[in-house]
Amino acid sequence: MTEKIPILDLKEQTRKIEAEVIEAFRRVMAEAAFIRGPEVKAFENEFAQYEGCPHAVGVGNGTDALVLALRALEVGPGCEVITTTFSFIASAECISLVGATPVFVDIDPVTLTIDPGQIEEKITPQTKAVIAVHLYGQPADLAVLRRIADKHKIALIEDCAQATGATYGGKKVGSFGDFGCFSFFPSKNLGAFGDGGMVTTQHAEMAEKIRWIADHGSRVRYHHDMLGTNSRLDSLQAAVLRVKMKYLEAWNERRRQIAERYRRNLASSGIVVPQDAPYGPSHHVYHQFTVRIPQHRDAICEHLNANGVTAVIYYPVSLHLQPVYAPLGNGPRSFPQAEKAQGEVLSLPIYPELTDSDVDGISTKLCQKYQELAPGAGKKSTSGRQEPVRAAG
């Protein structure tokens, strides 16, 4: 057997851009403006243009992007913010970090993004915002979310950490919300050589406010109007990101091709595959290719990992079941769709440099094991459009 296929391999991609990055680093060293220098300004402008959003502010990381958006809205103790229970912890952590209370909502069983139909019942006079997560690169239903936010006069924040380049109705995600919050953690679709993040916004005054909060609450140096912090994108990361930006569309397109190949290979296997959501129309960028395996998921995950394929469960525990959120009092069966998903999801390797033959090999191993453990399962529909199950209780 050849080497184990990792869930993500950045080595080849990094080799391909090495010469361009070194040239960019030389430029940064010549400028010697390492924080908020011209590279950062140029990257902010290029990113804003790419996003179709008037303002973009570089920040320290994706979690800070979310925290800074909430702080710009003056969300704090006594406030509530609605978010999905099925995401990476940062989608709720940011709310707790500003002293507000996360209010969880269940997911749509097909797209695994926040179910807009369950948001309005959670809105109270304390609700200040909704955070929608474009999970695995799949846009949440932004038109419906925007209508709900406008109707109740609350803010819409998009957690775009996994979805740089994804579109909804032909427009980039991050341009629908009051804020779009991006992460450039190395594993994301657009990743730096370290931590980095960006906030996009339609509102000029909000962009300014985020700049001061992220720079110790000062507009004029050593004059502090409000309590701030230190969260800035540095010039070396901006230089790397400017190089990578040029390839992002092609890389995302290759991710979509890989997804299509997996879908063809897994058709009629009984394994549920992701695809573009019916709304929008949406354009998924497959940060992850996450299938749902209705039975024996854990055994299949172990089998793949023991046989040359890294497969990972994103995420094994919904946020409402995390010990850190036990004080909120949401127990098991509070969010049935998320709890069902956490028992069935499995993410397979996907990155632009993955070869077609790797995809075929992974698919074969997966199908064979599933057939063996769940004979006959392949007769069911595999369209990814499961019957929506009514959330009970």
**Binding stretches for ligand PLP (CB under 6 A):** 61-63, 87-88, 90-91, 133, 159, 161-162, 183, 185, 195, 197
Q: Which is nearer to ligand PLP, 300 or 319 (CB)?
A: 319
**Closest to 71 (Cα-Cα) out of 157, 175, 162, 160:** 157
Nearer to ligand PLP, 177 or 270 (CB): 177
Cβ-closest position to ligand PLP: 62
Query: What is the rounded distance in angstroms from the CA atom of residue 153 to the CA atom of residue 131?
Result: 14
The DSSP secondary-structure symbol of 293 reads: -
The stretches of the chain forming alpha helices (DSSP H) are 11-31, 38-51, 62-72, 90-97, 142-152, 204-214, 235-266, 297-306, 336-344, 356-373
Q: How far is the CB of 251 from ligand PLP (least distance, A)?
A: 17
Comparing CB distances to ligand PLP, the nearer of 62 and 352 is 62
* Rounded least distance, CB 184 to ligand PLP, Å: 7
Beta carbon of residue 194, minimum distance to ligand PLP (angstroms, whole number): 10
Toward ligand PLP, which CB reaches closer, 300 or 348?
A: 348
Q: Which residue, 113 or 175, has its beta carbon nearer to ligand PLP?
A: 113
* Residue 102 backbone phi and psi in degrees, to 5: -75, 135
Residue 61 vs 382, nearer CB to ligand PLP: 61
Residue 2, both tokens: 């050849």
From CA 283, how far away is CA 38, in angstroms rounded? 32
Angle at 41 between CA 39 and CA 43, to 5 degrees: 65
Look at residues 304, 238, 189 and name the one whose alpha carbon lies nearest to residue 60: 238
Nearest distance, CB of residue 62 and ligand PLP, angstroms: 2
Q: How far is the CB of 136 from ligand PLP (least distance, A)?
A: 9
Distances (CA, A) of 205 to 81, 94, 282: 22, 21, 30
Work out how close the CB of 220 gets to ligand PLP at its nearest, in angstroms, rounded to a whole number.
29
